[in-house]
Amino acid sequence: MPQTANLNRTISVKLPDGALKELPPGSTILDLAKSIGSGLAKSALSGNIDGKPSDLSSVMPDGAEVRILTWKDEAGRETYRHTSTHVMAQAVKRLIPEARLTIGPPLADSFYYDFELPQPITPEQIGRIEEEMARIVAEAHEIRRRELPRDEAIELFKRLGENYKTEIISELPSDEPISIYEQGEFIDLCRGPHLPNTSCVKAFKVLSVAGAYWRGDARNKMLQRIYGTSFPDKKSLEEHLRLLEEAKKRDHRRIGRELDLFSFHEEGPGFPFFHANGTIIYREIMVFLREELAKRNYVEVMTPLILNEELWHRSGHWDHYKENMYFTEIDKAQYAVKPMNCPGGLLIYKSQLHSYRELPLKVAEFGRVHRHELSGVLHGLFRVRSFTQDDAHIFSTPAQLEDAVREAIELIRHVYTVFGFDDYHMELSTRPEKSIGSDEMWENATSALRNSLEKLGIQYKLNPGDGAFYGSKIDFHVKDSLKRTWQCGTIQVDFSMPERFDLNYIGPDGQKHRPVMVHRALVGSLERFIGMLIEHTAGNFPVWLAPIQAIVLPISEKFMDYGRETLEELKRAGVRAAMDESEEKIGPKIRNAELLKIPCMLIVGEKEMRSVSVGVRRHGKGDLGPQNRAEFIAQIRREISDRASEPVRPGAK
């Protein structure tokens, strides 16, 4: 008989680069990391086994595809902060035994846990929670995963008095094993994965406390949400805390008040009021976008704000979006305020017959939409109930689809460059669980987006199951000067809406054919984008966007006439200009202009009047010296027309 002693002495696992690694049976992800190198073993946080998030202690089966996750990976950072959340929850339970646990997810650069507490958390308690977290880290508790039958898990959390956990378990599929994690005396319901030990959490900070309803429903009990953040070293934590302090200084709500840009009022919660200065910024963004659309042969339309309820059933928004919609009754019929512009655009397309020669038909709309957001999540311009989308709907033949997507990608990239957003990435999101349309439609939509990205040589992140309910999409995620990421532009390929609305075009064969619809937004919500711009620039807008582009500052009453003459020259040249006619001395006038973040300050006195010049100061750059008035006006006009993000040098052509 042949020898069998050597059978199954090793297992083979596949690494992300395709390499195979031989290891003894029963090896864990951590064993794999150690076999590759001590540095990787030290930095490993968790892993994936055949795409499933797994602890480092998870045993790898033979033939598995395994990925080791570190701080460089988003999923690795999530593991780190998820464990930090459990450390914080354990600290709260030690300090306040009556606390009841709910949920505690990691976020992009932080984490939170919601608790039912007998009393509100005080600032002193935040400090004590941090101290207790430090003790738990120093105690170096092993973090262990266990799986329990459903009934046993419910009984366990009943004994612990954790009624929110039993509610969550009761809603899980009956055949699904329930996983729990233990560290010292602390037990939590959790899918994981987690770090191996509490001592792996190196640097952390409890940030703040806020109110939150259980499951976001105002009919439920109000909980207390404790926010924190954590990093693998103190230096990274300190840099993050510095950026948080800077973000407070740049808060768009504060700068909006100081620069008189916008306001909110109790008479319209969640509905922004743009003042004259803010409206200038709003208008200039739209003028720029319209110019770019005209260069690319877009047409612009306007659709009604209120449309019959039947339309929203037909489009699918009723089934997928009605909880966020506003409704009204007209002539005893039900109507809805539009949360999206696309159904109106579909009706315009359908109003006449189209030939393949007209396609691709690129239809833009700066449409006002309304979406109901809970009052607890409203946040300045970032989360509002009414906003303008810079929408477009591109109707193309299937053969034109990839070209249409590529053109939209390149347009969005150009727009971000003009606004000074040079750091961004793209994410491709595929069919979600709740969706409309056939498998073939979804495959074609996803392929068109993927092929377009790959032909442009663009690296992207794949988000399985995160598409819109009607189509796959590419989202643009922009990083601002504070290293925060914002989802802005989007490109969505939609085969379903043309089918639902029975859209057609006449092909070269004289027969009716179904067009493909591409939904496209460049900046998304103009309100949110303006909020981003305010915080990205700290209110220091480039000249072309600034509400007041130049202010004339006469040194004294004697030079008011020359100042007014200069002001009129600026206005005739199309510059948004003002003059400080107060009796203040020049120092306070300069300080006031600096506080208003006016890009150009033009000081005029005896010397300037005699030489028909201006003394130029730039906000944030200081005194640039004297300049011939006509040359300055020509310079600032170039800066405005070029939409320059930096000042044009004097004398530049």
Sign of the Cα pseudo-torsion (66, 68, 74, 77, in order): positive
What type of residue sits at position 415? Answer: V
C-alpha dist (Å) from residue 265 to 4, 211, 268, 274, 511: 80, 22, 6, 11, 55
The Cα 550–Cα 598 span in angstroms is: 6
Question: Is 519 in the active site?
Answer: yes
Three-class secondary structure assignment of 539-607: CCCCCCCCCCCEEEEECCHHHHHHHHHHHHHHHHCCCCEEECCCCCCHHHHHHHHHHCCCCEEEEECHH
In 140-175, alpha helices (H): 150-159, 163-170
The Cα 56–Cα 40 span in angstroms is: 12
**In this structure, what are the phi and psi dihedrals at residue 214, rounded to the nearest 5 degrees?**
-60, 120
The Cα 408–Cα 414 span in angstroms is: 10
Q: Are strands 485-494 and 505-506 parallel, antiparallel or unpaired?
A: unpaired
Q: Given 77, 362, 383, 393, which residue is catalytic?
A: 393
The Cα 338–Cα 371 span in angstroms is: 8
What type of residue sits at position 385? Answer: R
The Cα 85–Cα 104 span in angstroms is: 6
Cβ neighbours of residue 2 closer than 8 Å, sequence gap 6 or more: none
Q: Given 77, 94, 473, 576, which residue is catalytic?
A: 473
Question: Is 391 in the active site?
Answer: yes
Q: Given 77, 114, 165, 342, which residue is catalytic?
A: 342
Q: Given 188, 391, 480, 494, which residue is catalytic?
A: 391
Question: Is 635 in the active site?
Answer: no
Question: Is 371 in the active site?
Answer: yes
Tokens linked to 536: 């990205």
Question: Is 600 in the active site?
Answer: no
Tokens linked to 511: 């027969």
Question: Is 393 in the active site?
Answer: yes
Three-class secondary structure assignment of 435-500: CCCCHHHHHHHHHHHHHHHHHCCCCEEEECCCCECCECEEEEEEECCCCCEEEEEEEEEECHHHHH
The Cα 458–Cα 455 span in angstroms is: 8
Q: Given 519, 528, 576, 617, which residue is catalytic?
A: 519
Beta-sheet strand order (sheet of 46-49): 52-54, 46-49, 66-69
Q: Which helix (H) or strand (E) holds 344?
A: helix 342-350
Question: Is 389 in the active site?
Answer: yes
- Locate the DSSP E strands across 320-378: 326-330, 333-337, 361-370
Closest C-alpha among 446, 485, 486 to residue 465:
446
Q: Given 67, 86, 362, 371, which residue is catalytic?
A: 371
Q: Given 90, 389, 400, 549, which residue is catalytic?
A: 389
C-alpha dist (Å) from residue 410 to 294, 458, 488: 15, 11, 15
Residues annotated as catalytic (active site), given as ranges:
342, 371, 389, 391, 393, 473, 519
